[in-house]
Amino acid sequence: MSAEAVPAAGVWYRVESGSAASAVRRTAERLGVQVGLAPNRVAELAIVTAELTSNLVKHAREGTVLLRPVRAEGEAGVELVAVDSGPGMADLTFSARDGQSTTGTLGIGLGAIDRQATWYDAWSWRGKGTVSVVQVWSAGVPAPPMWAAGLTRPITGEQVSGDGHAVRVVEGRQQVLVCDGLGHGRLAGAAAEAALVAFRTAPVASPAVVLRHLHQSMTHTRGAAVAVAELDPSAVLLRYAGVGNIAGVVLGPDGGRKHLVSLPGIAGHQRPVIREYDYPFPPEATLVMHSDGVVGRWRIEDYPGLINHSPLVVAATLLRDAGVRRDDACVLVARSPE
């Protein structure tokens, strides 16, 4: 696959052999060149990719990697999300020290990733597997603050996902979107893309107003389930408006779990009822939104320490365990920016 073929949503790879690992590394290098990384950073990206993928081949079960470009404030980088289903590590910090190995190698993989990457985060638990996320940006460019992050994965057999997510900050408003185009494949993907474009250009307004704008902008598509949330740290509130089968959950600092209301309907078709609801959202709370391609029976307490990690690690873990292969799947996680 050429670098030009890597879409903004990224490409998922199964990594179960050395040849698959090499293919991911080569594509990462080409993508690094495409987004404008300097040659030395491309070389460091290759090291990071090789270490991530070789760990999957040597140690993991059902290893996969998402490769995608990332952009912020005129800069671009490359992101990798490595996910496996076991065996996991009891002490990730100890395992990241140089010289720690379970297969007789030099044991420098995790340490090399941490040193070469601009940003790195990982969570692992014995019996559940490991999730590692890495970003490589140009030298001197810090990774942007990640108060919200999402992932999509297409249904088995499709290259295009009908699910989508987006994040925007406009005039101080911190808003996120999850959408699920009806059906699968390119027409569903076109509906999702129309929602994303409309969201990025929507008026600076409340989630209900933004959702009405999305509905009016999607009438030429087959339609989608859509939900928009706005985090308001000053008011300690979350504002939420949704139509269709998008799930929203607020995880409280006390372990509580509040399900958010989305009304029946299809954005882009008929005239759905759109209402906005306010929910308490203290600084330590976490918002999780996902499409119906993710089973809602997950429990955050089944993942010790996960809630303390970045939104991207949380989203990737939930997508791994709760995402179903017979549907497109999307998870977005957000917290109030620090």
* CATH code, domain with 313: 3.60.40.10
| Size of the chain, expressed as the number of residues it contains | 338
Question: Which of the listed residues 137, 166, 190 is the one where a domain comes to its end?
Answer: 137
Buried b / exposed e over 306-333, threshold 16 CB at 10 Å, is: bbebbbbbbbbbbbbbbbeeebbbbbbb
The arrangement of strands across the sheet holding 163-170 comes to 163-170, 173-181, 224-232, 237-243, 277-280
Decide if 309 is inside a domain: yes
Co-location of 153 and 57 in the same domain: no
Cβ(338)–Cβ(155) below 8 Å:
no
Co-location of 112 and 153 in the same domain: no
Domain region containing 20: 3-137
Can you read off the two tokens belonging to residue 215?
Answer: 């509905």
Co-location of 164 and 110 in the same domain: no
- Cβ–Cβ contacts within 10 Å for residue 298, how many? 18
Co-location of 219 and 107 in the same domain: no
Indicate the pTM of the whole model: 0.92
Q: Measure the CA–CA gap between 293 and 319, rounded to whole angstroms.
A: 9
Decide if 47 is inside a domain: yes
pLDDT for 299: 94
pLDDT for 3: 42
Question: Which of the listed residues 90, 115, 137 is the one where a domain comes to its end?
Answer: 137
Decide if 296 is inside a domain: yes
Decide if 143 is inside a domain: no
Q: Which residues contact 19 (CB under 8 A, 6 or more apart)?
A: none
Task: Measure the CA angle with vertex 154, ends 177 and 306; round to 5°.
Answer: 60
pLDDT for 7: 83
Decide if 125 is inside a domain: yes
Co-location of 200 and 244 in the same domain: yes
Co-location of 123 and 170 in the same domain: no
Q: Measure the CA–CA gap between 95 and 124, rounded to whole angstroms.
A: 10
Q: Measure the CA–CA gap between 292 and 296, rounded to whole angstroms.
A: 8
pLDDT for 92: 59
pLDDT for 176: 98
Co-location of 86 and 200 in the same domain: no
Phi, psi of 73 (to 5 degrees): 50, 50
Decide if 168 is inside a domain: yes
Task: Measure the CA angle with vertex 11, ends 328 and 247; round to 5°.
Answer: 30
- Give the pLDDT of the chain (338 residues) as one tens digit per residue: 444 568 888 899 999 999 999 999 999 999 999 999 999 999 999 999 999 999 899 888 889 999 999 998 889 999 999 999 888 876 555 444 444 444 434 334 677 898 899 999 999 999 889 999 999 999 889 888 899 999 999 998 888 999 999 999 999 999 999 999 999 999 999 999 999 999 999 999 999 999 999 999 999 999 999 999 999 999 999 999 999 999 999 999 888 999 999 999 999 988 899 999 999 999 999 999 999 999 999 999 999 999 999 999 999 999 999 998 789 999 999 998 77
Counted domains in the chain: 2
CATH number at residue 20: 3.30.565.10
Question: Which of the listed residues 87, 114, 137 is the one where a domain comes to its end?
Answer: 137
Decide if 221 is inside a domain: yes
Co-location of 156 and 128 in the same domain: no
Co-location of 126 and 11 in the same domain: yes
DSSP 8-state class, residue 263: B
Co-location of 23 and 110 in the same domain: yes
Decide if 264 is inside a domain: yes
pLDDT for 5: 61
Co-location of 198 and 51 in the same domain: no
Co-location of 179 and 45 in the same domain: no
